[in-house]
Every structure is written in structure tokens, then in C-alpha cells.
């Protein structure tokens, strides 16, 4: 699908600049075209990539995100506005949340203090808990999908691989392989089990390990065998990589 140009109109929305162009989707700033006031917050439009070379997971992921975002509420997810039809131009319009992703944050900071790790970890845990209370599991938590607001709270992004207890799991029905990001994917997902909230807790632990050490506990595996190593292999304790992370410090913050 071609990039939309600034000034184009689509279903009552005017396209502004492209904020992100990734492997799965393009994201644009948008506003209403008919003079209506925006819904009290700035908006973005997410348009999935659907070219002949893209896999079926792009289409299925769009359908999953469309389904789930309409029922999620609270300050830890972007607010849903509208969606386009697959037969015309598929898109999702949602709240544009100000802040920086954890990915960007990691690029800008040295390994952070224990206090900062605890603050970020608590903020991420609150966001994940809010999602789980709504019977949803994210299943693709990683630094690029964790947005940190200026005040320190966390918003979770990109629900294309998620599942909800009250809706059919379209990815489980359509795809027969492990789906997730190799660095952060949980052992359950590696063996094809979806919907377990502990998968998000595992991914949260991987991100905390990276915050603490500057490394990831299982590297960046490229093969099925590499992915499966996390089923039996323990990562090095963080204090082996950063001695000031001691047992006493960890106990004080549990």
C-alpha cells in the first residue's frame, strides 16, 4: 500500500505528516476534515502494510488490533476513535500519546540507577495489570511498544499480536508458528501457548533485565532452536554483569 500524502483526505480525516514507517504499518498524524473539533486529544492513523510481499500476519494483526482496541479502556492504552474497512483502506485512528518509547529511552541513557529501574518497572507493571484486568494479554511487550509519558506513567502500544478472553484468537486460528518478538517472547509462546498473562510478565522481566544490565537475557535468537533455549537455559544473574545490583537492593524493593 502506497504512503499517504499530507493533505489527502480519507473517510473524514486529513492526513498530516508520517510519524513512523515500519515493517508492519505506517502511522500518520490526522485531524478531522469537516470542521469538527478533535475529540479532546490529538489523533494518529495507523495504516497496515499490505503489499504482495507481506505475510498474512499483517492482515490478521490488523483485524486483531481493530477488535481489541475497541474494548480496552483506561489511561494505559491509547483511546480508540475509528477504523476503516479492509475492502477499502484499512486503518485505525486512535489517540496520539505524547512521550518517548522505552526503546528511545534506552538509547539515550546509560544503565540506570536501581531507583529508576524500580520506578519504570512499577509503571510498566501497573499498565500490564490494567490490561490483564480487562481479560486481555498483550503478547508483544518490548521497549518499542512501551510509551513513557512525561510524568512517568506508561501506555502500551500495538495490540496486533494480542488476545482477549472474550473474542476468538484469530492468530491462533490462522498461524501455526510461534508469534512474537524473539528477544522478548515467552517460553509459553515459543511452544504455541497463547493467552497466558504470565507471558507479559516474562516480557516485563526481560525489559527490566535490559534496563539493569544494558543486555538482554537470551540475546536476539534467529532460529527456532535459539528461541527454544529459553525453555531450559537460565540467564546470567544481573549482578554478574553489574555488581552494584546486590541481593539486599533487590529485597528492599520487592
Which residues are catalytically annotated?
140
Q: Cα–Cα distance between 160 and 185 in angstroms, integer?
A: 14
Beta-sheet pairing, 25-32 with 13-21:
antiparallel
Residues 6+ apart with CB under 8 A from 91: 10, 11, 45, 46, 47, 48, 83, 84
Q: 248 burial class (0-12, 13-18, 19+ CB within 10 angstroms)?
A: exposed
CA distance to 117, 183, 212, 231, 241, per residue, from 114 (Å): 5, 23, 8, 28, 14
CB 253 within 8 A of CB 118: yes
Chain position carrying cell 537470551: 218
CA distance to 1, 55, 167, 246, per residue, from 52 (Å): 9, 8, 28, 52
What are the beta bridge partners of residue 80? Answer: 94
Amino acid at each position: 500500500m502506497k504512503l499517504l500524502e499530507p493533505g489527502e483526505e480519507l473517510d473524514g480525516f486529513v492526513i498530516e505528516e508520517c510519524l513512523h514507517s515500519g515493517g508492519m504499518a505506517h502511522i500518520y498524524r490526522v485531524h478531522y476534515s469537516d470542521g469538527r473539533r478533535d475529540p479532546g486529544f490529538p489523533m494518529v492513523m495507523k495504516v497496515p502494510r499490505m503489499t504482495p510481499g507481506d505475510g498474512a500476519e499483517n492482515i490478521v494483526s490488523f483485524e486483531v488490533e481493530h477488535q481489541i482496541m475497541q474494548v480496552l479502556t483506561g489511561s494505559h492504552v491509547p483511546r480508540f476513535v475509528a477504523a476503516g474497512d479492509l475492502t477499502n483502506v484499512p486503518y485505525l485512528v486512535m489517540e496520539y500519546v505524547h512521550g518517548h518509547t522505552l526503546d528511545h529511552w534506552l538509547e539515550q541513557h546509560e544503565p540506570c540507577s536501581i531507583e529508576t529501574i524500580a520506578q519504570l518497572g512499577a509503571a510498566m507493571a501497573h499498565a500490564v495489570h490494567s490490561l490483564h484486568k480487562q481479560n486481555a494479554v498483550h503478547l508483544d511487550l518490548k521497549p518499542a511498544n512501551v510509551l513513557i509519558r512525561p510524568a512517568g506513567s506508561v501506555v502500551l502500544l500495538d495490540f496486533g499480536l494480542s488476545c482477549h478472553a472474550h473474542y476468538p484468537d484469530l492468530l491462533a486460528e490462522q498461524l501455526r508458528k510461534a508469534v512474537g518478538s524473539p528477544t522478548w517472547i515467552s517460553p509459553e509462546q515459543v511452544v504455541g501457548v497463547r493467552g497466558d498473562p504470565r507471558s507479559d510478565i516474562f516480557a516485563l522481566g526481560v525489559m527490566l533485565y535490559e534496563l539493569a544490565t544494558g543486555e538482554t537475557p537470551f540475546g536476539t535468537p534467529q532460529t527456532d532452536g535459539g528461541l527454544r533455549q529459553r525453555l531450559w537455559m537460565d540467564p546470567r544473574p544481573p549482578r554478574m554483569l553489574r555488581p552494584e545490583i546486590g541481593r539486599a537492593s533487590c529485597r528492599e524493593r520487592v
